[in-house]
């Protein structure tokens, strides 16, 4: 399961409303890259793919592709506001290491494809 907090759900709903396209949902996944080996991806989609995992949290449909799901199973997505702005934060119980930016990670079973960090 992927958990979307109530605060994150409200932000996603706000962003979806701004898109004004019926049938859109939140697609969450990972791909090789980043400082630690994998990077997170979030975006809008409206096409389901074979093997997709589907969840609903606070009225938001979340879809994860079958290849990404093992790396982010159990992840919680939140939205945090600060004086510097706001953004989504990801707490992934499968990550054993991550980079300072928080958008790259590796797991105990997979290292992904790490790239050189930008200073």
Residue 41 lies in a domain: yes
The residue behind tokens 């994860």 is 64
Contact 91, 3 (CB under 8 A): no
Single pTM value for the model:
0.79
Tell me the CB-side half-sphere exposure of residue 92, using CA atoms within 13 A: 27
Residue 86, domain CATH: 2.60.300.12
Q: pLDDT tens, position by position, for the chain (119 residues)? A: 999 999 999 999 999 999 999 899 999 998 877 666 778 899 999 999 999 999 999 999 999 999 999 989 999 999 988 777 788 888 988 887 676 655 555 565 555 555 555 54
Residue 118 lies in a domain: no
Residue 112 lies in a domain: no
CB count in 10 Å sphere of residue 68: 20
Residue 115 lies in a domain: no
* Domains held by the chain: number: 1
Residue 114 lies in a domain: no
Residue 117 lies in a domain: no
């Amino acid at each position: 399961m992927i958990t979307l907090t109530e605060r994150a759900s409200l932000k996603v709903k706000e962003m979806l409303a701004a898109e004004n396209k019926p049938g859109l949902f939140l697609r969450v996944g990972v791909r090789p890259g980043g400082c630690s080996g994998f990077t997170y991806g979030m975006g809008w989609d409206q096409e389901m793919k074979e093997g997709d995992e589907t969840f609903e949290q606070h009225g938001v449909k979340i879809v994860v592709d079958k290849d990404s799901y093992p790396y982010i199973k159990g992840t919680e997505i939140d939205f945090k506001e600060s004086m510097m702005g706001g953004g989504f934060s990801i707490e992934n119980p499968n990550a054993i290491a991550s980079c300072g930016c928080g958008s790259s990670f590796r797991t105990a079973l997979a290292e992904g494809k790490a790239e050189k960090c930008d200073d």
